[in-house]
Amino acid sequence: MIVYSFATEQKICEIGSVKVGGQPGELPTLLIGTVFYGRRYKELNEELLEKASKDIEAQRTISEETGNPSMLDVFIDSEEHVEERLSYVLDHTSSMEPFSIDVPEAEVRIEALDYLDGQGALDRVLYNSMNLGITEEEKEAIRSHPPKAAIVLGYNPRDLSTDGRMGILGHGSGMVEGGLIEMALECGIENLLLDTAATPFDHKAAETLRSIPAMKNRWGYPVGCSIHNTVESWLWLKKRRKENRELYNICDIGSNGLTIVLGADYMVYGPVSNAPFAFPFVGMVDKLVSEGAEEYFGVEPPEIHPRSRME
Amino acid sequence: MKGRNSMNEYLWGGEFNTGNYESPVAVVTMAERIDLPEGKVAVWGKMMTENLGVEKVVANIISNPNIRFLIIFGSDIRGHRSGSTLLSLHENGLGEDNRILGAPGAMPYIENIDREAVERFQQQVEIVNLLGEEKEEGLLKAIDDCIEKDPGSFGDPYIAIKIETKGAQMEDLQGKIALCRDLLLDPLGKITTLNTQGEE
């Protein structure tokens, strides 16, 4: 069992009631579960909303039980879903509960920021994500409506190695002037979470993991990823998903453990409905990391931590 | 499962079905999984991303010279715009930095196949743009139309070699290992920075 200790100062980011970052073992892993992802949410009906409500509450409950902080990741795929989905989440979370907005298109991200500013909710928002595809209009929108924190994506389509992923963040690799971290800071975002950008098997998937300690040590910001995306794109498993859901879930949720032992501070673990399994599993790994960190490096766990909550 | 993901003919893999190898038609169905007549279509399947996904489609298509038409069908992928990116690649090719010229996707770069493979793709197939179409009847008609005007095989298969980029390799440095170019990990898990001269 390897537990790392980083030579550089490790920043702790606070978003609402959630703290994330620090040296391994210093804080429990933040778990971010996605709501409204997939075609079935194209039109929200009463049944889907009731299910979402139950899933959100289940994440909250298991988060309390294991001591792992939680956050919702609100997937928004088009302009017409911005208000519908965000108003639902605002209605179903307290003013201290942060949430992430997970939006593939720049135009929709801009609209989401505008809406959240109007609702006075930007201080709870984790922007997911600032990446290579950012537009000038988007940067302007971020400056005008700055979210509390942002995920900065280390995806470098030209070089998937650890050095390539760090390059897009640090100097831009010739594609982003000054690099994405500098760009995020220039846009007025102080709380950055770095994402190592999960890639599929055969596309340097292992670099997704190796980048975790490398990025943490280089910049000290909290680091994580959505490693479940690597699992989700695995064709062998995909072919067995329907017949053997348990097998799929074991691989999907289990993948998160790999990131934690390499130093990850947070993870976007997939559908929020997986919370009852993801949290106890991650809590178990956090217990191991915390024991190792205390033994080797004298890092004591905080009062609320899986080590005390899951004795 | 019959015919799905046959690795005998399309070496670059991906989430696709294979049908009649002699057919002149291939179909990209974007995010949808659609059943198509095996006798009429050589290969059909999903394409999600504007870089790795597009590369796989190009490499697989040119490995079968019988394919002369590529139908791009369905709703484009939000954010990635991989369907529009594939259209741009066919129409405009690559810029000097390997960016697909005119592509609307967020990160449209081709890095794992060479320019010759892209040019072969541009020459071998004609694109039938059904992006945004949702009715399968229209797709089936387009398939029939393509078969009707099949110009015959393009010649030899083109097997695109994946360009391997060398990343930071782990090296043993006096009991420590390098995580990347300038970070060292000692046996206890302590991470330190290595300067460019190779000294801690």
> Going from the N-terminus, what domains does chain A have, and what CATH number goes with each?
12-306 (3.20.20.20)
Q: Is the pLDDT of residue B165 over 80?
A: no
Both tokens assigned to A202: 């055969």
Quick one: pLDDT band at residue B166, thresholds 50, 70, 90? Answer: low
CA-CA-CA-CA dihedral for B161, B158, B47, B41, to nearest 10: -150
pLDDT digits (tens, 9 = 90+) for A60-116: 999 999 999 999 999 999 999 999 999 999 999 999 999 999 998 899 999 999 999
Q: Does B168 touch chain A (CB under 8 A)?
A: yes
pLDDT of residue B191: 77
Q: Is B177 on the interface with A (CB under 8 A)?
A: no
Average pLDDT over residues B55-84: 94
Residues of A in contact with B15 (CB under 8 A): 235, 238
Interface of A with B in 114-143 (CB under 8 A): 131-133
- Can you give the pLDDT of all 311 residues of chain A as single tens digits? 468 888 889 999 999 999 999 999 999 999 999 999 988 888 888 999 999 999 999 999 999 999 999 999 999 999 999 999 999 999 999 999 999 999 988 999 999 999 999 999 999 999 999 999 899 999 999 999 999 999 999 999 999 999 999 999 999 999 999 999 999 999 999 899 999 999 999 999 999 999 999 999 999 999 999 999 999 999 999 999 999 999 999 999 999 999 999 999 999 999 999 999 999 999 999 999 999 999 988 999 999 999 999 99
Q: Min CA distance, B91 vs chain A (Å)?
A: 21
**B175 touching A, CB under 8 A?**
no
**Which residues in chain B touch residue A103, judged by CB atoms under 8 angstroms apart?**
79
Q: What pLDDT shows up at residue A4?
A: 86
Greater pLDDT, B1 or B83:
B83
pLDDT tens digits, B5-38: 344 578 888 889 999 999 999 999 999 889 999 9
Instruction: State whether residue B124 sits within 8 Å of chain A by CB.
Output: no
Cis peptide before A129 (omega within 30 of 0): yes
Best residue in B183, B192, B195 for a mutation probing chain A (most A CBs within 10 Å): B183
pLDDT averaged over chain A? Answer: 95
- Note which residues in 131-150 of chain B have CB less than 8 A from chain A: none
Chain A residues in contact with B189 (beta carbon < 8 A) = 2-5, 292, 296
The DSSP code for B66 is T
- The predicted structure's pLDDT at residue B172: 53
Using the Cβ of B13 and the Cβ atoms of chain A, whether some distance falls under 8 Å is answered with yes
- 0.90 surpassed by complex ipTM: no
Q: How many CB atoms lie within 10 A of CB B187?
A: 9
The model's confidence at residue B195, banded by pLDDT at 50, 70 and 90, is low
Q: What are the tens digits of pLDDT across the range B73-127?
A: 999 998 889 999 999 999 999 998 899 999 988 899 998 899 999 999 999 999 9
